[in-house]
Chains A and B, each alone.
Chain A
Amino acid sequence: MNALKTWAASNRPFLFFIGRFLLTFFGLSFLYSLYLVYTERQGDLDLVTYWISRGSHEMARFLGVADCEWSCFIDGCYVGRPGRMVNILEGCNGLRLAIVYAAYVIGIGGWNWRSLFQMSVGLVVVQIFNIIRIGSLIALRDFGGDLYFYFIKYVFGVWIYGSIIVLWILKPRIDRWLGAK
């Protein structure tokens, strides 16, 4: 018990970080859940999934998927060539991962303009990575073969989680660039 108290006393800033990190994560997740409940009651699809699927559709067309179709319903969107579509659900939109990224930024830096700026830029960067991921998956599904399953299971998992970890690693440099002490 004494050892734990000593450790807590010498790592007080880290404990404050964990507190801020978890509070921000649960707070933002709660707000997002409220928004999802609201859109469900309105009989609408959430705007994040809508715009991510729209971006993925454009990305797939850019990657050469001819006759790529895009249609949204209350439970998600279907993008791709008929018969070879992928289903973009709320869980695919990457916003929960962006919330974890934002929680880390707030946890380290606190609530100030630098953190809010990094949080906003980070949200956009993570979503760009997600659009590239889903657009490529649509193109791979259109291409056919087993490559799609390999990429969805391994490559793109590393891709999207890696993008967040790289942003975390770059954070001290971004802080210095923004003029933090």
Chain B
Amino acid sequence: MKKYIMFSALLAVALSSSAQSNGSMFDETFQGMFDVPNEPIYIAEGVQGPLNPAVPLDGGLTALLLAGGAAGYRQYKKKKA
């Protein structure tokens, strides 16, 4: 019986001490979480582009083909007139 009482007492002490340390850990973790910082807040300006951007060209290929057709039509009209 004595053994059980001693074990229970030890368990109670251990639990109470762990609860205290948990409480302090909790406080340390969230301490100052909602405080307003003294330094100015960094706001990113714009979006950073790729490091080595490509210099592509072929976006207007279809437009150029159509322009070629139109230029040819104009030339044939001129010849006809």
Contacts and interface: CB of A to CB of B under 8 A. Distances in A.
**Main SS class of interface, A:** helix
A133 B57 CA distance: 10
Contact of A104 (B57, B59, B63, B68): B68
A43 interface: no
A91 interface: yes
Interface in B50-80: 51-61, 63-65, 67-69, 71-73, 75-76, 79
B18 to A, nearest CB: 53
A21 B72 contact: yes
A103 B68 contact: yes
Interface of A: 11, 13-14, 17-18, 21, 25, 76, 78, 80, 83, 85-89, 91-94, 96-97, 100, 103-104, 107-108, 130, 133-134, 137, 141, 149, 152, 157, 160-161, 164-165, 168-169, 171-172
6 contacts: A13-B79, A83-B51, A89-B56, A96-B61, A100-B68, A168-B71
